[in-house]
Amino acid sequence: MTVVDAVCPLMTDPEAWALYIDGGVDIGAPTVANWETPSETQQLLEQWTRWIDRDDRLVAVTEPSDFDRFPSPGKLGVIIHFQNGSPLGEDLSNYEIFHRLGLRMVQLCYNFANPLGDGCLSGEDGPLTAFGRWAIREMNRLGIVVDLSHTGRRTTMDAMRVTSAPPVFSHSNPAALTPHRRNIDDEQIRAVADLGGLVGVVTFPAFVKPGGKGATVSDLVDHIDYLVDMIGPDQVGLGLDFCESGMEMVERMIASGAWTVEDYPMDADPRLVDLTSPNQIPRIRQEMVRRGYPSGAIAGIMGHNWINLFKRVWST
């Protein structure tokens, strides 16, 4: 079984790589850029190239055939992910430049509006922009996965009418279980599934359990259950979104304006009670086993569904 965590902001800290490897993660997608300028973003991509070249634990994953190398003990595959379209700027040529540097998945927005569309926390629910439509077509042409997490509902629905390749909600939970502006409703879930896309469950407690306090792996797997009941086990995966531990990170993100106190409670730890580190990821599989999931469904949710999705999009 190959384990894939498709949202790994913590991987930008080299000290965290061992935690992912110890947790049985074979492939992770670090959040390489969010709000940087295109020139700053290019420097970050070049830094990742150097890290991969210099550390024999890391393996670049950019082509469908690269997945054949996993699982490989002691190795950690790297899929470059941006959690915002802003770092690409408003020049479509940047998409090809950054693709050549390894970029393989781009989230359209991060909570608020940008040149591509609207974010899920803006309160405006604005549409996909004309530039956003061109950007999606360019991502489709290059084989970059279109990620709709953190993006406003109207923009996501518009994007799903534009894309010719399967899109994803890389790290979003069902709002039916946990009403929250960062989560997604049943119509969005069915729409992405109808396009052959995928929904990754996320561990941030406020998205797992109302209010966030005391959220557990069992609560997280409740979201997996809900998705599997609605769209089947083949279009569900992990987008766990481990980030820095402790309330300092929450306070910093709120101070920056990227998060709001209403949506990211400051009185709730940003980690599940019993899943505080990537080296505890096997607890998700253990809970699915306890609930009687078939081995094939578990293998899919733990990683193979993401692999199938990436292979389809990257082969275009």
pLDDT of residue 247: 60
pLDDT at 255 over 90: no
Structure tokens at 62: 């950019």
What CATH number is attached to the domain comprising 145?
3.20.20.140
pTM: 0.95
pLDDT at 29 over 70: yes
Contacts of 60 (CB under 8 A, 6+ apart): 49, 52, 66, 77, 78, 102
Structure tokens at 305: 């569904």
pLDDT of residue 270: 80
pLDDT of residue 154: 99
pLDDT at 263 over 70: no
Considering only the C-alpha atoms of the chain, give the largest distance between any 2 of them, rounded to a whole number of Å.
49
Q: Over pLDDT 70: what percentage of the chain?
A: 94
pLDDT of residue 2: 98
Report the number of distinct structural domains present in the chain.
1
Expressed as residue numbers, the domain containing 129 is 4-314
